[in-house]
Homo-oligomer: A and B are copies of this chain.
Amino acid sequence: MNGPVKQENNREENFIKWYEVPSKEQAIAISGRLRLARNLRGFPFENRMSNDQKLALSAKIAETMKSEEFEALGLKNMGFEKMEAYSRGALVEQHLVSPEFAQNGRYSALFSTADNSLSVMANEEDHIRIQALLPGIELEKGLEAVNAADNIFDAKLAYAFDEKLGFLTECPTNLGTGLRASVMLHLPMLESSGVLPRISGNISKLGLTIRGTYGEGTKAKGSFYQISNQVTLGISEENAVKNLKAMVSQIIFQERALRDGIKGRSLEDKICRAYGILTNARLLSGDELMETLSLIRLGLDCRYISDISYVTLNRLAFTMGGANISAVAGRELSGDERDFMRAKAVRETLLNAGGN
């Protein structure tokens, strides 16, 4: 149990987030995510609950979490329901919560470790969602973390559970284990070589899916793709995670094979120009940041760029969205202001991290 999740819980005071920890396969594997969907007996599903019922449920879950066991996991109430819109948006950009959950913030509750590696949401699509986030592909550690929280809830609350169907969930695609596991990969070479559609077809036969960062069908911004399990019935949590990890390892292997073949002046030029933009631009949109960070990440792996760590790139990718910039400023910023402050923060981060 020396994995990133546990490690991070000991570092609360430093505000180091889960994505700021070096990990295996970090050149290609950005992050992993494990999520359990749970519902309680005696409450209707979310889509049939009034706001008052939601508040009552939130209060019940919050009360339940005021316990030694949850405190031992480092889970604390984040005061999500009182946050400004941009602060909730900042958590969306950090992949901690979904946009829908952020929008319904007033009737929700969020509990998290300081590093956000483990979190619990009340009134998400299901009554309770338990989530682990981790750098790289060490999904087993994430599964341990969500299971730990799940066991505590199970001892204290009555889950909606059916002997045949397993855990009951609002959306039938989550029935059974209620487990969704995913890994975000950086796949610029598989993308540009055009083989992703074939890979997508193959893995769907194995109950897995691949999609762009911002939803199915869209081209991934910066070549970041999410691979996740689709099947939650008739397969154990451990096997689901094992299957996903095996497929992810294969995809990483394929991406790496392509990378070994593409080095050259033209690519180096493209990557170094991206570095030039990031260290000099005075206005930088979120989209341009993702595209250029994608090139820098590839450049780091190809050794065209040095003196920058993957941790630095992760920090930029997770904390330079518009809501995060606004949250740092403490007010809702205009688009121009955001682009200006984003450029400044990125520039200073990279120049302090060292040149290329």
- For window 254-296 of A, CB contacts with B under 8 Å fall at 265-266, 268-269, 272-273, 275-283
| A349 CB to nearest chain B CB (Å) | 15
Q: Cβ of A336: which chain B residues have Cβ within 8 Å of it? A: 265
Cα–Cα, bound, A146→B34 (Å): 81
Q: Indicate if A340 sits at the interface (CB-CB under 8 A).
A: yes
The count of residues in chain A whose C-beta lies closer than 8 Å to any C-beta of chain B is 19
Interface 1/0 per residue, A230-265 and B, CB below 8 Å: 000000000000000000000000000000000001
Q: Could you say which residues of chain B place their CB within 8 Å of the CB of A265?
A: 282-283, 336, 340
> Per-residue CB proximity of A32-54 to B under 8 Å, as 1/0?
00000000000000000000000
Residues on the B chain within 8 Å of A298, using CB: none
Cα distance A272–B278 in the bound complex, in angstroms: 10
Closest beta carbon of chain B to A325's beta carbon, Å: 15
Structural contact, A277 and B282, CB atoms closer than 8 A:
no
Q: Is A227 an interface residue (CB 8 A)?
A: no
Note all chain B residues with C-beta closer than 8 A to A282. 265, 268-269, 272
For the complex, give the distance between the alpha carbons of A215 and B272 in Å. Answer: 34
Q: B268 and A275: CB pair below 8 A?
A: no
Main SS of chain A's interface residues?
Answer: helix
Q: Contact at A343–B283, with CB atoms within 8 Å?
A: no
Contact assessment for A276 and B280 in the assembled complex, using a CB-CB cutoff below 8 Å: yes
**In this assembly, does A77 line the interface, its C-beta being within 8 Å of a C-beta of chain B?**
no
Q: Do the beta carbons of A266 and B283 come within 8 Å of each other?
A: yes
Interface flag for A356 (CB, 8 Å)? yes
* Best-surrounded residue of A265, A276, A279 (most CB of chain B within 10 A): A276
Chain B contacts for A268, CB-based, 8 A: 282
Min distance, Cβ A326 to any Cβ of chain B, angstroms = 18
Contact of A281 among B272, B279, B343 (CB under 8 A): B272
Q: Which of B266, B269, B277, B283 contacts A276 (CB 8 A)?
A: B277
Would you give the 0/1 interface string for A319-342, flagging 1 where the beta carbon is closer than 8 Å to chain B?
000000000000000001000100
Min CB distance A129 to B, Å, is 41
Q: Which B residues touch A343, using CB under 8 A? A: 269
| Inter-chain contacts of A281 with B (CB < 8 A) | 269, 272-273, 276
Shortest Cβ distance from A340 into B: residue: B265
* A348 shortest CB reach to chain B, Å: 14
Q: How far is the CB of A183 from chain B (nearest CB, A)?
A: 32
Closest to A264 in B: B282
Q: CB distance B269 to A356 under 8 Å? A: no
Name the B residues within 8 Å of A340 (CB-CB): 265
**Bound complex: CA of A265 vs CA of B283, how far in Å?**
8
List 28 A-B pairs, Cβ < 8 Å: A265-B282, A265-B283, A265-B336, A265-B340, A266-B283, A268-B282, A269-B281, A269-B282, A269-B283, A269-B343, A272-B280, A272-B281, A272-B282, A273-B276, A273-B277, A273-B280, A273-B281, A275-B276, A275-B280, A276-B276, A276-B277, A276-B278, A276-B279, A276-B280, A276-B281, A277-B277, A279-B280, A280-B356
Q: Considering the complex of A and B, which 6 residue pairs feature the smallest CB-CB distances, nearest first?
A: A276-B280, A276-B276, A269-B282, A269-B283, A272-B280, A268-B282
6 further contact pairs, Cβ within 8 A, besides A269-B282, A272-B280: A265-B283, A273-B280, A273-B281, A275-B280, A276-B276, A276-B279
